[in-house]
Structure 1
C-alpha cells in the first residue's frame, strides 16, 4: 500500500519519493530476529494501518528512491532494486519488472537528466537502477551522472567479488566488531562495477565533509560496513536521508532491534541510536528508505525514548 507522492520542500530543494515496491505482510519477528512476538505486537498497536496491519500485526514497508531537485541539479538518493536482476536468494526481488523509470518520467525526469546519484550504502535494494540490461550487458541507467558512494564500501564489495581474502583486512580496518553476514552475492557485478568501468563513479571518504554542494555523508556503519546517513542543508533548513539505519518506525521504540539484514550488529545498534539522537537534536526532516506511508517524518525525544511522526 503506497501513499500518494507528497512533495517536500527543504531550502531551495524539492524532494519527492519515487516508489519501486510496496512490501506488505512482513512478519516483524522475521525482520527483527531479536524481537519478542508479544512485544512487537504491542508496539505495533501504536502505529496506523499504513505501517502495521491492524488485524495481523504484520508490517508494511516500501522500497523507493528519493529525487532531490535544486535550481541547478537533479539528484537521486539510492536507486532501489532494478529490473531483470538475478536474485534467486531473495525471491521478492528476483527478475523484477517494475515501471520505476516511468514513475521518474511522471515527475518530468528522464535518466539523462540526472546529474548526481548518492548512495547511503551499496546493498541490493539501493543500487539496482544504477544499471539496466541492454542485450546481454549491464549499462549505466543514468549516463550523465556522477555516482557517489563510500570508497570503503566499494573496496569491500570488490574484495568479496574477487574472493581473494582481502575483505578480512577491510573489516579489520573498519573496526566494527562481530560480523554476522555479508552482502548479497552478484550485486556488485551487475549494479556497481559497470558504473565504475564506465568512469562514472566517485568513491569518497565518509567523514561528514561536504561531497556535493549541500550534501555531506555522516558515518553510521553497522547495517553495512560503511553505511552513511546523507545530510542535505539549504537556506538554514536540513534533511537527513537515513538509508537503512532504521527499517520501520517500530525501531524508534526499540532501537536495540537489528534487522535481519544488518551485517555488524553492535555497530548497527550504536549507529541507530546516533541517528535517532541526531534527528531529534537537529529537527531535520528525515527521509527513510523502507518506511511506508509518506516515508518522511521527524523524530522527537521523550526522556530516554523516541517518537516518530510522519510528515
Structure 2
C-alpha cells in the first residue's frame, strides 16, 4: 500500500478571504516525475529560465513541484469542499495514485469539516485525482464519504463522460468514485453558462473548458475580497509564464489554452487570490503581468 508521510493534521494552511477562511486539505505530494509527464512542454530549460518559480514551485534543475489537495471553507453556514483528491485504497493505473493510505479525512476533520458535516462538494471536473474521496470503502462497498452533502458538477462534464469510450482505468474510477454517489441520489448536475452561475451569495462557478469539456473554476467573494480556485485550468505556475503549455491529458488543448489565457487576463494585476489545486506550497498568490505574460506573486498561508 502506498502510504503518504504523516503530517500534523491540525496545521491545515489557510487564507482569509473577507469573512471566509479557506483551508487547504493536503492529501499527498506528487512524485517528481509528475511534471514531465503531465506538462511535457515545460522542459527543464524553459522552467529554469523563470527564476521566480524557485524554490517553491520548481527545483534548480527544472523539476516541477506538484501536490494533491482540496480546499474547504464555510460560507454563511454552508460547509463547502472543492475537489476530493485521489482517495484511499483506489485501484489506479497511475502508480502515484494507486492504493493510497493517507490521513486526508483526519486533516479535513481537524480543519473543522467532519465528513458527515460537509454540505456541498464541488467537483471542478471528473478526473481520478479530483473525485477520489467522493467515496470510501465500508464493509467492502464504495459508499459516499460525505453522506449529507450534495455533490455538484457541470451537466456538460457528466454528459461528456457518459458518451465517452472509456478505457478500463477510467471505467474503474467511475465505478468506485462517481456511480455510487449517483446511485445514492447525491450528485447534482448544473448548467454552467458562459458567464458563470451563482451557487449561493459569494459562491460562483466559472466555465473554464478544455482540460475537460465541463471544467469549472470556483470563485469565492466575501467582504469585498475575491479568491479563485483553479481546478486543472492551470496545473502549475509555469503556465502563467507560458500559457500555451497544456497538459498531456487535455481533451481539447486549444480550448484549454484559450480558457487559461482568458482567465489569466482577467486575474492579472488584480487583488484576486489564486488558489492552485495542484500548486505546491505556498499554493496561493496574485497574478502579475511579467515580461509579456504573467508570474505568480506568492501569498503565504495565514499564521496560526
Q: TM-score, length-normalised on structure 2?
A: 0.88
Bigger Cα displacement from structure 2, 29-38 vs 278-287: 29-38
- What is residue 283 of structure 2 aligned with on the other side? 295
Matched with 1:52 is 58
Kept in 2: contact 1:182–1:263 (CA 8 A): no
Per-residue CA deviation, residues 212-245 of structure 1 (Å, 9 max, x unaligned), is 3321111110011111111111222211111011
Matching residue of 1:113: 117
In 2, distance between residues paired with 1:35 and 1:240?
24
Would the aligned equivalents of 1:74 and 1:115 in 2 still touch at CA under 8 Å?
A: yes
| 8 A contact 2:88–2:101 mirrored in 1 | yes
Instruction: Give the superposition deviation at 1:294.
Output: 2.1
Change (3 A) 1:60 1:182: farther
**Cα distance in 2, alignment partners of residues 133 and 183 from structure 1:** 18
Find out whether 1:186 has 2:209 as its counterpart: no
Is 1:240 the equivalent of 2:240?
no
- Partners of 2:76 and 2:204 lie apart in 1 by 19
- Aligned partner of 1:175 in structure 2 is none
* 1:24-52 alpha-carbon deviations (Å, 9 max, x no partner): 42364433223444223323x43222221
* Residue 150 of structure 2: aligned partner: 146
The structural deviation recorded for 1:197 is: 1.1
Structure 2 distance, partners of 1:57, 1:283, is 29
**Within the alignment, does 1:15 sit opposite 2:19 as a pair?**
no
**In 1, are the aligned partners of 2:52 and 2:295 still within 8 Å (CA)?**
no
Following superposition, the deviation at residue 298 of structure 1 comes to 0.9
8 Å CA contact 1:240–1:279 kept in 2: the answer is no
1:218/1:228 contact within 8 Å kept = yes
Structure 2 counterpart SS, 1:51: coil
C-alpha deviation, 1:99, in angstroms:
0.7
**1:62-101 equivalence runs, <5 A:** 62-87=67-92, 89-101=93-105
SS at match of 2:170: coil
Secondary structure of 1:160's aligned partner: coil
Name the residue aligned to 2:162.
Answer: 158
Q: Identify the residue that residue 200 of structure 1 maps to in structure 2.
A: 186
Judged with a 3 Å threshold, the aligned counterparts in structure 2 of structure 1 residues 284 and 201 are, in CA distance, closer, same or farther, namely same
Moved more, 299-308 or 195-204: 299-308
Tell me how far 1:281 sits from its aligned partner: 5.6
Q: What are the ranges of 5 or more consecutive residues in structure 1 without an aligned counterpart?
A: 164-180
**Match of 1:177?**
none
Distance 1:215 1:41, change over 3 A: same
Which of residues 241, 260, 272 is equivalent to 1:272? 260
| Deviation by residue 1:255-299 (Cα, 9 ceiling, x = unmatched) | 101112212110011011112112226431111111101211110
- Residues 158 and 183 from structure 1, CA distance in 2 versus in 1: closer, same or farther, beyond 3 angstroms? farther
- Unpaired runs of 5+ in structure 2? 300-304
What is the TM-score of this pair, normalised by structure 1? Answer: 0.86
Corresponding position of 2:39: 32
Instruction: Say if 2:269 and 2:286, in contact at 8 Å, map to a contact too.
Output: no
Cα distance, 1:135 vs. partner?
2.2
When residues 85 and 286 of structure 1 are mapped into structure 2, their CA distance, relative to the original with a 3 A threshold, is: same
Whole-Å Cα distance in 2 between the matches of residues 135 and 119 of structure 1? 26
**Cα separation, 2, equivalents of 1:188 and 1:283:** 38
Question: For the structure 1 residues 37 and 110, does the alpha-carbon distance in structure 2 shift closer, same or farther, using more than 3 Å as the test?
Answer: closer
